[in-house]
Structure 1
Amino acid sequence: MERETAAIIGPQYSVMAHVISHVANEMQVPLLSFSATDPTLTSLQFPYFVRTTQSDLYQMTAVADIVDHFQWRDVIAIYIDDDHGRNGVSVLGDKLAEKRGKISHKATLNPGNITREEINSALVKIALMQSRVIVLHIYPSFGLDVLNVARSLNMMGSGYVWIATDWLSTLLDSNPSLFTTQSINDIQGLITLRMYTPESEIKRKFSSSWNKLSKEKDPVEGPFPLNTFGFYAYDTVWVLASALDAFFRSGGTLSFSNDSSLNMLRGGSFELDSMRVFLDGEKLLKRILEVNRSGLTGEMMFGQDGNLVHSSYEVINVIGSGIRRIGYWSETSGLHTGESPNHSISGDGLYGVIWPGQTIQTPRGWVFSNNGKPLRIGVPLRISYREFVSRTEGTEMFGGYCIDVFTAALSLLPYPVPYKFFSFGDGKTNPLNSDLLHMITVGAFDAVVGDITITTNRTKIVDFTQPYIESGLVVVAPIKKLKSSAWAFLTPFSPMMWFVTGMFFLVVGAVVWILERRINDDFRGPARRQFVTIIWFSFSTLFFAHREKTVSTLGRFVLIIWLFVVLILNSSYIASLTSILTVEQLSSPIKGIESLVISNDRIGFLRGSFAENYLIEELNIHRSRLVPLNSPSEYEKSLKDGAANGGVAAIIDERAYMELFLATRCEFGIVGQEFTKMGWGFVSI
């Protein structure tokens, strides 16, 4: 390095930029880097560092947005084990965490000497893992080697997702001939990012001049196309030139002084002990940060953090022998498919992607790992209602309705799910579902399959699937059959209803007589005749057989209203009587949960069921009234004994159990309405 330096442009790599930034701070010399994208290179730590390209902070944010857009949660990161790779992937992990994602595995490669054996070893480990979303953050010189080995391991096929950072777009822009070589087969379906540089007349003219010049310099190999870093390098020179012009116009001078603190570095290959401090370095730095001009890469303007403003990227998909832009990303608008990064009116998201394996179906992003353990699924070892869940005697196989639903659901998945059932319970009593769910929270089981009711309290500690059967609590009690009798025709109405109906007949007859007797001869005559007429007229309307005519307007109005009421009474009576004579009538002293709660009778429930807590906490039934029972046979015995003989007055249990119980026991029945609504589901965490 020169003894008297006013500014530095470079270096090419972030690792070297870290070293030179320390020197630039001591010498108070602005360091402008057009290729050091390490996000930890900031003006807070290195005040004289000015980044004239995009920071990987924004690139990793874009990668995290892409991962979130396709609803992937776990990714694998492959990167070079140096400051550039580690710091970039660290930012990626932070950005994924903000979107509830994570890096499930980090595969590092030695920056000094990467061999195919090292790459192969890293990729073989990755192939055995669950995640199929791989982010490749590496240098262009090694990237194609990694992808070539991945292709040889069949990791570039259907189901895999490869997201390459801007190293790939840089390589493709610099070497268009790659599209005509075998290497293009190694990158099919990849997504990569490219720093956005808008098209402009000045950019087209410069590219044309550059291609012409490089062709003249090397007619055999040229021309040498520029990538985005080349454009940023050109703009960096102009930024420094503009800043120096403003610096000199404002009276700045190139004056230097010795720094005694550098004497300890005497003898180094960089000869740092001979360098001198730039006295006006802070002033030149200020002029650099004040630059605002349009260049080949667009607007060159710096924010307060020393980074370029309006960071944006193109999202590119490698297809066939070329590339296709599928959208943009910008720090203000995120992912979108607008005309440019700052115009997102056409909609959020990305255009369709051709994925590895030449498929347009978005990969799921994960598979069950080849070295993974099967799911440990807990199953309650029931002694009752084995039609739902039961274990085959002498084996570890399970059957029943719940098991059949679970296996049928798994058969619909497009991928295999290894699992193993484990019984829970001693086989003597029904296990408590609360204890079974606790086994999930402590990690003993991965899931539970069985007749597990979905309740509010349980959803606070575990996750349930959608209900696969509806259920709810019902009351089951002994019932008696009512025999029909000769007086059955009176049962549709209660005695009070009969009395009220008869009174209405008499009242209506009297009202019509009052309205008609002055002008209607049918309602005149001796008192006895008029009384008989009222009685006859009233009850003959029941069959619409009255023969007396009404003359007055009010009389006709009252009669019409009354005939309409009689029609309703007739219809209700006939429907009720038909039901009584044709449907078997059952009777129970318990009418439902309301009558059971206010009584002092003992109530039975299934041991281990949530019904116990529900009755105590929600219905305020004293625990002493509750009797735990283990099986349908105990249900039957307790109901037959009755509360007076040490049994129970009723059983409260879920409808699914009770329907199975009542299928072979006609002397009991469900009374009242179902008073809870819930369902059964499978459990995980």
Structure 2
Amino acid sequence: MEPTSHHLLRVSFSVVLLFSLQGITSYGAIIGSIVDLSSRVGKEEKVAMEMAIEDFQNRMNQSLVLQVKDSQGKPIHAAVAATRLIHSQHVQAILGPSTWEEASLVSEIGSHSHTPILSFADSPPWATTQWPYLIQASPPIQHAQMKAVASIIQSSGWRRVVVIYEDIGSSVNGVIPHLHDSLDEVGSEISVLVGLPPIDSSSSSSSLYDELENLKRGQCRVIVVHVSLPLALRLFQQAKKMGMMEKEYVWITTDTTTSLVHAINSSYIASMQGVLGVKSYFLETEPDFHDFYQRFKRIFGSENPEEPNHEPGIFALQAYDATRAVALAMDEYIKNEDLLDKILSSNFHGLGGKVHFSTERKLPPAKTFQIINVIGKSYKEIGFWSDGLGFSNSIDPGRESYNDSMENLGQVFWPGEARDNPKGWTLPTKTNRFKVAVPNGTLFNLYLQVGYDKVTNSNTYSGFAIDIFKETIAQLPYDFPYEFHVFEGTYNEMIDQVHLKNFDVAIGSIAITAARCKLVDFSQPHTDTSLVMIVPVQSQFSDKAWMFLKPFTNAMWLLTAFISVYNGFVVWMIERDHCSGLRGSVLNQIGALLWLAFSTLFSRQGDNLHSNLSRMATVVWLFVTIVIMQSYTANLASMLTVPRLEPTVADIETLKYTNAMVGCTKKSFVANYLTEVLHFNHDHLKNYSAPDEIAQALRKREIAAAFIEAPWAKLFLARYCKSFIAAGPTYKVGGYGFAFQKGSLMISDVNEALLSVTESGKLLKLETDVTATQTCVDVELANNVSLSPSSFCVLFILSGGTSTIALMVYMIHRKKKFQDSLNEHKTIWVLMFGVLKYWLLRKNRFSRKVSDMESPKSGSPPIELKSWPSV
């Protein structure tokens, strides 16, 4: 309880004692009521209570008296009224008041006198425990109402809001914590809290003007208002005069104002155009409500003709239901002396909803609210919000369709007659530019460099980080006034300054880490998101026993061997008829074939060949072998002169196993990453601030490897292109991004602009330009590779084709010669057979002739040689 409340409580106790001594007698069954008759709420409550008493008497035919006291909205007056009602008029129960500041004092008095107090104020959870006779006769709405406000903010994508509240205990200790928690759940936050004093205090219009002027100079344009109706009317009139009811502004009012919007006259409504409000919902379709509605308008209008509208609101309905609950309980109280229990056992459907008290002596919390929009001379109901369900156009069973977004609700008319959702924030003026922090000094000046211009007597800023920031800002659909400020210190210190709101933005090689994200909001990364290990290089072929095979690929060696054997086979096939050394046993012939195949590569065999075909195949193959041997010699010499390079360290496990020293850059997160994530010993780390220092340390073997962020690693390897190499896997980290204040309203726009820069190719061009400016300080290496068959395919085809042609010609010639040989042998045998036959015939004739000479026979014909046997 506030100190002021304690003072008022002491005063009320004195008043209690005073009136308790008077001993005024009771008038019978009396219900007391404490309302603020200077407010619209109090006026509605008084009429509703009197109607409830009248209805009870007509239905139950029993006399019941209602004693109404005016608190004038002051807690001390409420305490005095409670004392008089209890000790002077001996009321059995008290209805009201409607504010927690009044209800807390009245509850203290009622608990001491064992008088039930039915309060219409939303009490804290501990209240009914401290005051056992306190009953909350209105549904708790603050928690659900703040969730409804947060859902509206989430639906429109607003990240920050300004909250204007009435500086009283119920707001500070009740509503504001609920709103803070609800906004936190949807990813938004309260950027500014503005507490306004109650309207009956010593506050002046000038102080209200000053508060609104401060808000106008700020960026946030989403304003949640939780104040009483009189203060809200003054607030909106002043805001309209100051031009704060125009486009890009968002005003959201809570139930304390919105549930009385029906009672606002046209002059005040004109200053609230476009306001969006959360309003308590009650069912208006029941027959009992229509009867109450008509009677209330008539009675209220006759008693309060000065009011512009005579319709009842939620406060009238709650007052009617609470009075009915007390009246019904008092009807049984005559027979049973326990009035508090009878009130708590109430169970009926009232005009404002279900009347059934929980064990905490409270009604069921409100779950549904109306979303209204102030337009013209009144307001429009655009939809509903239900706790746990979301937004809907209707709450009628079977017709409702819930959604997390307000897009499906009715059209909202925002201030300035805007139909599209406002951004909810604006940029500062040119006289109040964004302060952009730029670190002084990075690993590579090409990435970011801060200089000094003696002519203009000002700092100059250049480099990739500056260029990408300017390109991104140029893509924004609005002006973004900013100015660079040099920051001396570490990157973590710079992030702290952004977190403390000393800078609006920080740029440079700022790595996105989890720890930093707790302090600031980062844009999406604009560089490679990895950590690279840089190590010295060594010859890939040093001390390798099989280096002589490296000039040719395996396929090249196999093809060369195949062609050699094939050519040797062709020469052997052709020359074997002319050389006895090529004949003999199978092993002898195989050895001769292989000799012919490979001796051609190293010696000249033309003088020993007898056939022109074998000479032709050998000449072509000799030409091919000369080319192959010269290529082999040249490539091997190149490899020996400038050997291939490979990393000296393959992975980090080798570094950790050997306890090797490793290096990293100063002012970066890398040291923490190496120790906390990669588990390096902190004593084995060395920090460097320049690329030359890292290169020298690697060459002198002071460190075995250096860990550098990818953007700097690209520049480092471009400068030392042949001395060092990236080794092992890369380690994913956050990359570099722009750091904004936590909850910055520009993050989404900057990310969209950065995507445009990336997709347009400008980011790639900037990276390429920066890398291209790095001149390699190492000796350029020849691009040596092992030679493959594709390098000699034409020669192999020529040699193989020539040998194949020679072999085919030889085979054709040999076949013809073989056929001629067969024909020649046949002729010789025929001739020999003829000669033999002729010889035999002559021999036979000669024998006959001798015989005839010796003993001739008569009649024997002479022997004649007609011809030679045919060949």
Coarse TM-score class (shorter-chain normalised): 0.5 to 0.7
**Aligned positions of 1:99-248 closer than 5 A:** 99=185, 101-102=189-190, 104-112=192-200, 115-174=204-263, 178=265, 181-199=266-284, 200-211=286-297, 224-248=310-334
Report the AA paired with residue 158 of structure 1: K
Report the AA paired with residue 111 of structure 1: I
Pair 171,439 (structure 1): closer, same or farther in 2 beyond 3 Å:
closer
Please report how far the alpha carbon of residue 189 of structure 1 lies from its aligned counterpart in structure 2 after TM superposition.
Answer: 1.8
Please report how far the alpha carbon of residue 63 of structure 1 lies from its aligned counterpart in structure 2 after TM superposition.
Answer: 3.5
Choose from 371, 379, 387 the match for 1:323: 379
Answering whether residue 440 of structure 2 is matched by residue 355 of structure 1, we say no
Pair 112,479 (structure 1): closer, same or farther in 2 beyond 3 Å:
same
Choose from 370, 384, 392 the match for 1:314: 370
Percent identity between the two aligned chains = 26
Report the AA paired with residue 359 of structure 1: A
Pair 448,44 (structure 1): closer, same or farther in 2 beyond 3 Å:
same
Equivalent pair of 2:117/2:135 in contact (CA under 8 Å): yes
Choose from 345, 354, 379 the match for 2:438: 379
Report the Cα distance in structure 2 between the residues aligned to 1:626 and 1:217, rounded to whole angstroms: 85
Please report how far the alpha carbon of residue 285 of structure 1 lies from its aligned counterpart in structure 2 after TM superposition.
Answer: 1.5
Pair 530,40 (structure 1): closer, same or farther in 2 beyond 3 Å:
same
SS of 1:104 mapped into structure 2: strand
Answering whether residue 365 of structure 2 is matched by residue 305 of structure 1, we say no
Equivalent pair of 1:164/1:193 in contact (CA under 8 Å): yes
Equivalent pair of 1:338/1:347 in contact (CA under 8 Å): no
Report the Cα distance in structure 2 between the residues aligned to 1:397 and 1:624, rounded to whole angstroms: 38
Equivalent pair of 2:167/2:198 in contact (CA under 8 Å): yes
Report the AA paired with residue 107 of structure 1: G
SS of 2:322 mapped into structure 1: helix
Report the Cα distance in structure 2 between the residues aligned to 1:168 and 1:295, rounded to whole angstroms: 23
SS of 2:232 mapped into structure 1: helix
Choose from 509, 523, 526 the match for 1:451: 509
SS of 2:210 mapped into structure 1: helix
Please report how far the alpha carbon of residue 422 of structure 1 lies from its aligned counterpart in structure 2 after TM superposition.
Answer: 1.4
SS of 2:417 mapped into structure 1: coil
Please report how far the alpha carbon of residue 168 of structure 1 lies from its aligned counterpart in structure 2 after TM superposition.
Answer: 3.2
Equivalent pair of 1:447/1:683 in contact (CA under 8 Å): yes
Equivalent pair of 1:337/1:349 in contact (CA under 8 Å): no
SS of 2:212 mapped into structure 1: helix
Choose from 548, 551, 556 the match for 1:491: 551
- Aligned equivalent of 1:567: none
Answering whether residue 498 of structure 2 is matched by residue 410 of structure 1, we say no
Answering whether residue 741 of structure 2 is matched by residue 682 of structure 1, we say no
State which drifts further: 213-222 or 103-112: 213-222
Report the Cα distance in structure 1 between the residues aligned to 2:693 and 2:271, rounded to whole angstroms: 70
SS of 2:200 mapped into structure 1: coil
Please report how far the alpha carbon of residue 307 of structure 1 lies from its aligned counterpart in structure 2 after TM superposition.
Answer: 2.1
Equivalent pair of 2:137/2:363 in contact (CA under 8 Å): yes
Answering whether residue 83 of structure 2 is matched by residue 28 of structure 1, we say no
Deviation per CA, 1:89-132: give whole Å up to 9, x if none.
44545644763734732322233256534432332233334443
Pair 49,477 (structure 1): closer, same or farther in 2 beyond 3 Å:
closer
- Aligned equivalent of 1:396: 459
Please report how far the alpha carbon of residue 610 of structure 1 lies from its aligned counterpart in structure 2 after TM superposition.
Answer: 6.2
Report the Cα distance in structure 2 between the residues aligned to 1:390 and 1:399, rounded to whole angstroms: 5
SS of 1:24 mapped into structure 2: helix
- Aligned equivalent of 2:131: 46
Please report how far the alpha carbon of residue 135 of structure 1 lies from its aligned counterpart in structure 2 after TM superposition.
Answer: 2.7
SS of 1:43 mapped into structure 2: helix
Report the Cα distance in structure 1 between the residues aligned to 2:244 and 2:480, rounded to whole angstroms: 19
Please report how far the alpha carbon of residue 169 of structure 1 lies from its aligned counterpart in structure 2 after TM superposition.
Answer: 3.2
Equivalent pair of 1:410/1:417 in contact (CA under 8 Å): no
Report the AA paired with residue 682 of structure 1: F
Please report how far the alpha carbon of residue 213 of structure 1 lies from its aligned counterpart in structure 2 after TM superposition.
Answer: 5.8
Equivalent pair of 2:276/2:373 in contact (CA under 8 Å): yes
**Aligned positions of 1:425-444 closer than 5 A:** none
Deviation per CA, 1:275-319: give whole Å up to 9, x if none.
xxxxx4xx1121111111122223222222222214132222223
Report the Cα distance in structure 1 between the residues aligned to 2:520 and 2:333, rounded to whole angstroms: 66
Please report how far the alpha carbon of residue 402 of structure 1 lies from its aligned counterpart in structure 2 after TM superposition.
Answer: 0.6
Report the Cα distance in structure 2 between the residues aligned to 1:13 and 1:146, rounded to whole angstroms: 20
Equivalent pair of 1:96/1:102 in contact (CA under 8 Å): no
**Aligned positions of 1:641-680 closer than 5 A:** 643=700, 653-661=708-716, 663=718, 668=723, 670=725, 675-678=730-733, 679-680=735-736
Deviation per CA, 1:582-602: give whole Å up to 9, x if none.
x99973453464189579999
SS of 1:318 mapped into structure 2: strand
Equivalent pair of 1:65/1:334 in contact (CA under 8 Å): no
**Aligned positions of 1:250-289 closer than 5 A:** 251-252=335-336, 280=337, 283-289=338-344
Report the Cα distance in structure 2 between the residues aligned to 1:85 and 1:627, rounded to whole angstroms: 55
SS of 1:397 mapped into structure 2: strand
Deviation per CA, 1:506-552: give whole Å up to 9, x if none.
9xxxxxxxxxxxxxxxxxx974599699999x99xxxxxxxxxxxxx
Report the AA paired with residue 526 of structure 2: Y
- Aligned equivalent of 1:421: 485
Please report how far the alpha carbon of residue 363 of structure 1 lies from its aligned counterpart in structure 2 after TM superposition.
Answer: 3.6
Report the Cα distance in structure 2 between the residues aligned to 1:139 and 1:460, rounded to whole angstroms: 37
Q: Any gaps of 5 or more consecutive residues in structure 2?
A: 1-84, 542-546, 566-583, 599-627, 743-871
Report the Cα distance in structure 2 between the residues aligned to 1:247 and 1:16, rounded to whole angstroms: 27
- Aligned equivalent of 2:525: 467
Deviation per CA, 1:120-153: give whole Å up to 9, x if none.
2332233334443323233323422221111111
Deviation per CA, 1:354-382: give whole Å up to 9, x if none.
32223344344444667997665443333
**Aligned positions of 1:530-545 closer than 5 A:** none
Pair 202,317 (structure 1): closer, same or farther in 2 beyond 3 Å:
same
What is the number of residues matched between the two proteins?
575
With the length of structure 2 as denominator, give the TM-score of the two structures: 0.55
**Aligned positions of 1:56-67 closer than 5 A:** 56-58=141-143, 59-67=145-153
Please report how far the alpha carbon of residue 220 of structure 1 lies from its aligned counterpart in structure 2 after TM superposition.
Answer: 11
- Aligned equivalent of 2:843: none
SS of 1:36 mapped into structure 2: coil
With the length of structure 1 as denominator, give the TM-score of the two structures: 0.67
Pair 326,647 (structure 1): closer, same or farther in 2 beyond 3 Å:
same
Report the AA paired with residue 400 of structure 1: G
RMSD: 5.1
SS of 2:193 mapped into structure 1: strand
Equivalent pair of 1:480/1:667 in contact (CA under 8 Å): no
Report the Cα distance in structure 2 between the residues aligned to 1:221 and 1:454, rounded to whole angstroms: 60
Q: Any gaps of 5 or more consecutive residues in structure 1?
A: 253-279, 426-431, 507-524, 540-572
Equivalent pair of 2:141/2:365 in contact (CA under 8 Å): no
SS of 2:132 mapped into structure 1: coil
Report the Cα distance in structure 1 between the residues aligned to 2:375 and 2:719, rounded to whole angstroms: 67
Pair 480,656 (structure 1): closer, same or farther in 2 beyond 3 Å:
farther
